[in-house]
Chain A
Amino acid sequence: MKNKIQKIAYNSLVVLFLTVNYSCSDELNERNELFPQLNPTNTDELAGTWKTFLLTTPDEFSLDAPIPTNAAAFTREINEIKSYQASITPEQKKIIKYWSAGGVLRWNEIMRTLVARHNRPPYQNEDGTYPTPSPANPFANPEFPFSNPPYAARAYAYVSAAQYDAMIATWHYKKLYNRAAPFTVDATLPVLIPKSGLPSYPSEDAVLAGVTVELLKLLFPTEIAYIQEKAEEQKLYRIISGANVRSDVDAGIILGRKIAGKFIARAASDGTGAAIGNQALWTQLETQTAATGETPWISLDVPARPPMLPLFGKVKSFLMTPEMVVASRPVPPPSTKSQQFAKELAEVKSYGKNATKKNMQIVTFWADGVGTYTPPGHWNAIASESFVALNYSEVRWARNMALLNIALMDAAISCWDAKYTYFNPRPSQVDPSIKTLTGTPNFPSYVSGHSTFSGAASVVLSHLVPEKAKSFIAMAKEASDSRMFGCIHYRSDCEKGLELGEKVGGFAVARALIDGAE
């Protein structure tokens, strides 16, 4: 009897532990690790003629002619590739696997990481005021930037637009100089990625590294070391894999940097620096709304936090004039004294009281709040995963991401314009008994940012990938609804936000029709 019990006890403990140790694998399957190597079905050979955003012509920035492929110096560059390949390390193979999925794709992912890492509101001072992140002193507390949704939308847009112009210039020079790829010159050279039929000078990956690094230095100045490390990996990947020789890469970096300068100059004067406003403006927003008889928005943060980027609606868009922003502005929200408002407030309250599991899942899935890559980042992730399946060339990747991100930046501009024109309160401000299922954002309610971003993204993506239009539209609707289910927005905020997003997304679609790529 005693032995039996002892046996049972020992055996159950042993079995329990073995089961646990063998069945609980901690390995995660990450979707972005499964992306295949880029192997475009169409190289978009004539993309050097597509319409650019800021470059006046594709050759606005000059690029020296390459050394001929029959020169001894070129042979030495091929020998460099061979010497790397002869002693390739597992770490280098990993780098090749990572970057060969595509440069635009990977830089977009890196940006999403940077946005998530810096998407934190500043911690208050002792006296209850808040310090402001400063680009002049980015390492101070709080670090610069606070990559909230408008900041993030603009950052994604600048990088994407600059990458696009840089790819147009790259395709122009590829055709102009028509330098053969190293594996064409030396047929014995092993190539570790799918061979591209394009001329190899300058290297598109190097141009991407060059242009992106310069912009990210501006947008995320505390991350320069991390960004440089990524760029070095990308350059190395092109050489080790046999896709480019050193001079393709060096020329690409130079060209990318020059093009970045034009975008950096624009960013310095696009109005973002002033978007935070000042105490006088914050007070004025309140008094001018109160003067209309409406309830002005107040911060629900404790201590009260100044409203997020009240002048972001004035930031210079890539596709909209200030007049277009005003013309697109949605009609005023229902007055806080109206029956319509009371009805919508009651609806929000009911979502809080009867929070279903399904609704909570939707709220969480689309929340994209503090510490995340923001709603624009979420749509970048959705777009990337759709584009991966379509095997685009780098230039088409850049173009489609630019159209998406410029539309998302326009969504931020026009949504923030509406928010600070109407300056209306959140549901929990009007009725403090309303408890939310996600954090209450620190800016006025009308219209919903998530709805505007999602409307814009779904319109652009539906144009680019029409076979998935239904799913993009459904996702946008769900993202929009999530804010109502989460009790931080009224129905009008969401519906008018979606409409506004669709309208500004239309400007990017109009551009897509005439940029030469379709």
Chain B
Amino acid sequence: MKKFYLSCLLLTSLFMNAQTEIDGIMMSKNNFCFGAVYQHSSWDEYWEGTFKRENLNLGTVYTESVTLNGNYGVSDKLNIIFSLPYVETKASAGTMGGQKGLQDLSLTIKYMPFEKTIGKATYSLYALGGLSAPISDYSADYLPLSLGLKSKTASLRLMGDYQNGHFFTTLSGAYIKRANIIIERNSYYTNQMYYTNEVDMPDAISVNYRIGYRTNRLIAEAVLDNWVTQSGGFDITTNNMPFPSNTMNALKIGVNTKYTLKKIPALSIIGGYNFVLQGRNIGQSNTFYGGIFYILNLKKATQENEK
């Protein structure tokens, strides 16, 4: 009876900690869950290709964000989800100034075509289709301090969830298609010169595995996430500048928790931590986040109004 677990899925497409929290639970019909998440991410070492280094001209690079999220249950099997982050970046050393602003709006349709309970075990399958697009005119070509990569993306994720009693495990895989971006130069060098302001962005594959404990009140899980850039990317050469179409890979490990208040069951608190175990052309970031969510039953509200 997993549908009673109220889920808030948050998708932040921040390139540095391209974190996709994907859970095997659905919002019930006519429920709308919304909330905000604060995230703090920092790194002082990064990879130029496979070469791991620090950069004293950057010191520690910080990315902070506040993301608004919402999830509406069209039905028990179909949810529509959005997220919109406001991001601020800065470096602790060197002369380069940071950036701040709204990043990318993402919309996801989450569909559960299959769910079956046999004894204490529940099996379910999901398909998630997502779109994201920048909603402010930030500059992608300002790495590592840009707000994001500015590419419009479309993703398809397939996911399977198995729950037995209070224990569960979820496995999913996604293909992320990225559209070309426009930068503010009319030529650039990757591993060849391009005389255009348009950049071909490599696609990516994301595999996400999670395992943990799940009840009405508490979810606690461990996550392993692998983000792998597909062909078309390239490595940062030693002491060169990063570029939006770099191959950016990250193998991350982390924990997520969600607690629903006993007295106010519509209110839940989330929190988590993750860090990059291994990467390529990205910072080895440590990320903390915390947030709060509230659920409205829209149908009930309407009915009450009619009375």
Contacts and interface: CB of A to CB of B under 8 A. Distances in A.
A32 B192 CA distance: 13
B75 interface: yes
Nearest to A23: B179
B126 to A, nearest CB: 10
A350 B180 CA distance: 34
B73 to A, nearest CB: 11
Contacts of B53: 123
Interface string A108-135: 0100110011001111000000000000
Interface residues of A, number: 59
B118 interface: no
Contacts, number: 137
Nearest to A117: B189
Given A381-B187, A437-B97, A16 B239 contact: no
B59 to A, nearest CB: 8
A9 B111 CA distance: 6
B96 interface: yes
A371 B188 CA distance: 9
B137 to A, nearest CB: 6
A33 to B, nearest CB: 8
Nearest to B188: A372
B21 interface: no
A197 interface: no
Contact of A113 (B77, B192, B239): B192
B195 A381 contact: yes
B95 A434 contact: yes
Contact of B189 (A116, A365, A378, A436): A116
Given A303-B56, A364-B184, A435-B98, A371 B189 contact: yes
Interface string A1-37: 0000110111011001101110010101111110000
B216 interface: no
B139 interface: yes
A120 B239 contact: yes
Interface string A365-392: 1010111110000100100000000000
B43 interface: no
B1 interface: no
A17 B155 CA distance: 8
Interface of A: 5-6, 8-10, 12-13, 16-17, 19-21, 24, 26, 28-33, 109, 112-113, 116-117, 120-123, 142, 300-303, 352, 355, 357, 360-361, 364-365, 367, 369-373, 378, 381, 428, 434-440, 487-488
Given A28-B199, A117-B189, A373-B187, 6 more contacts: A13-B129, A116-B189, A120-B239, A123-B53, A367-B185, A488-B95
